[in-house]
Every structure is written in structure tokens, then in C-alpha cells.
Amino acid sequence: MITKPNILPTPIAPPLPEVYQIEVSSVCNFNCIMCPTQFFPRKDKTKFISLDLVKKIIDQGDLDASYFVELQMSGEPLLHPNIEEIIDIVKSTGVLVGMSTNGSMIAKKLEAIAKLDYLTVSIDSLSEYENIRKNGSKEILLENLEYLIGTAQKYNIVVDLQLVELEGWEKEKEKIEKMYGFFFNVRSVPNCYLPYFFSEINLPTSTELCLNPWLSVSIACNGNVTACCIAQGDDIQLGNLKEQTLREVWQGREIRSLRKEHLRKDYRPVCAKCYMRSPFLFHWNLYLQSIKRRY
């Protein structure tokens, strides 16, 4: 008689993780009120990823297990002076490329945008746009969305207009859908940083096991390999791609301790406050929806 084990195995990591995000810029021309960047200061002040680092990442095969990479984390990606070249380099591997932008530079960077497979434009609100997306101009945003309609259709780019679920988001979503629902998908995401904004209130954080340490990483513009887009400061440094390959980082001491801590539920502060868990699953969802809309 075959006896079945009565426990599930612990997660097993593949030889190389999927890369969720490569941050091309850590600086921004906006100062949005709900932006997480304010909570994750870094010692290293690198503003933009270097072309040499992007080429090194590709040449050493760090994207070999990736199917769709987004060129963002903190900061505004379209500020990178060589954004078009970076998109070309990443796309040359066959990986699909996406990006989230604040939408302020769409008209100026249309040639780069035309090369993307997927784009999120962060809008959040039309009524309160300039109060939420500080330094932003609603007039420029609306002009840019007009340019984007033609470009997205011509180059078959899937575009999502995104709202973070701030007060009154439901009505704002309806408004945006009325204006742009014919051309773009409109979606909302939860405010993932509530425990940072309201630390005095004991907000629930997710208690599910996060699978990021077994499946996915994000790369900051200074080469730091971190677990995900939530840990975008110095809290988690699994290694650095300026000195290592991703395969080396993925076998390293830091990632192994992070996995052990997760299994013991002995979370670091940034993980203990996480409102999302396994952000790469969110990424998978985006990818699947984008495939469905495209074909």
C-alpha cells in the first residue's frame, strides 16, 4: 500500500527567479500624496540605471526565466534619458516590456512608448488630480491621453488607466471609464501602504505565506536585488547585479535566510507591514488580462 505524506512540501525555488521589475529611475517630477517612495529612503542616491548595467543583466542571462518585465519601481521611468534604448535592449531578449508612468511626458516620449507591450498610466482621480498627484497638471495629462489613444491603437499596446483606492475612488473610476473606457482598461489597486500612513491603527496585514522569496525578484536602479516592489528601500538587499549574476544571488545567503524567516513567520519590519503578499501574483494577473485583451 502506498502511504501519502500528511504534510505539503515547503516551496521549492526554481534555478532562476522571474524578474518582476527593473527600476530605471529612482527620481520623479511629481510628489504624489500616497506615493510609497517617501517611506523607503536609500543610502545610495543613484538616480538612473546605467546602460552598462542593463547590458550586463541581459548578457549574463538574468532575464532567462522572465516573460514580462516592468521598467519601474520608485521614480518616473520616462525621465530616464535613454529609456528608448533600454526598452530595445530588454525587448531584444524576447521578454515583453511594460511600464507605469505618471503620464506627464507621454507626448515627449511617444517613440519610446510605441515600443512597449503594456503601459499603466497612473491617474487616481480626475476631480482631485492636482491635489493627489502633486506637481501634475490635469490639462497636460488629458492632452497626453489623446496622443496615447492613437499610439496604443497603431502599435497594439495594452494600456491600463490606474487608480489607487483613495477616498471616493469608486466615483472617479466611473468618470474615467465614461471618458476613456472605450480605448483603455480602467482598474483600481488597493492602497498597499496603509500601515505606513496610519501606523497608530492596528491595520490588518496579510498573514499568507509570501511566495516572492521562492519565485520572483525586483532590481533597483543601483543594481540591488530586492524581494519585490514593496521592499523598494534598503530593507532587503539580496545581492547586487553590478558584482554578481542573478543565479549567484538566488543561491546566496541572504535569500536563503529570507526564505527561512518567512517559513518561521519571523518577518522583517517591511514584510511584517506588507498589505499585499506575493506582488508577483498581481503581476501575473496583469499579464493574463493583457493577453486576453490582445487576442
Yes or no: say if 20 and 70 are a contact pair by the CB < 8 Å rule.
yes
Binding mask 186-225 for ligand SAM (x = CB under 6 A): ---x-xxx--------------------------------
233 interacts with ligand SF4 by CB under 6 A: no
Beta bridge partners of 118: 98, 158
Site for ligand SAM in 117-136 (CB under 6 A): 120, 122
144 interacts with ligand SAM by CB under 6 A: no
Partner that binds at residue 51, options ligand SAM, ligand SF4, none, CB closer than 5 to 8 Å by kind: none
Partner that binds at residue 192, options ligand SAM, ligand SF4, none, CB closer than 5 to 8 Å by kind: ligand SAM
The count of residues interacting with ligand SF4 (CB under 6 A) is 11
Q: What is the DSSP letter of 36?
A: G
- CA–CA separation, 159 and 240 (whole Å): 32
Yes or no: say if 33 and 232 are a contact pair by the CB < 8 Å rule.
no
Helix (H, G, I), strand (E, B) or coil at 1: coil
Closest CA to 185 of 123, 248, 273, 229: 123
Cell of 171: 466615483
Tell me whether residue 232 is exposed, middle or buried, using C-beta atoms within 10 angstroms of its C-beta: 0 to 12, 13 to 18, 19 or more. buried
Closest CA to 29 of 141, 126, 172, 110: 141
197 interacts with ligand SF4 by CB under 6 A: no
Per CB under 6 A, the list member of 10, 14, 31, 127 interacting with ligand SF4 is 31
User: CB under 6 A: which stretch of 14-22, 23-31, 108-116, 252-260 binds ligand SF4?
Assistant: 23-31
State the pairing for strand pair 185-189/216-219: unpaired
Binding mask 109-128 for ligand SF4 (x = CB under 6 A): -------------x------
> What does the binding site for ligand SAM look like in residue numbers (CB under 6 A)?
28, 34-37, 72, 74, 76, 100-102, 120, 122, 162, 164, 189, 191-193
> What does the binding site for ligand SF4 look like in residue numbers (CB under 6 A)?
28, 30-32, 35, 37, 74-76, 102, 122
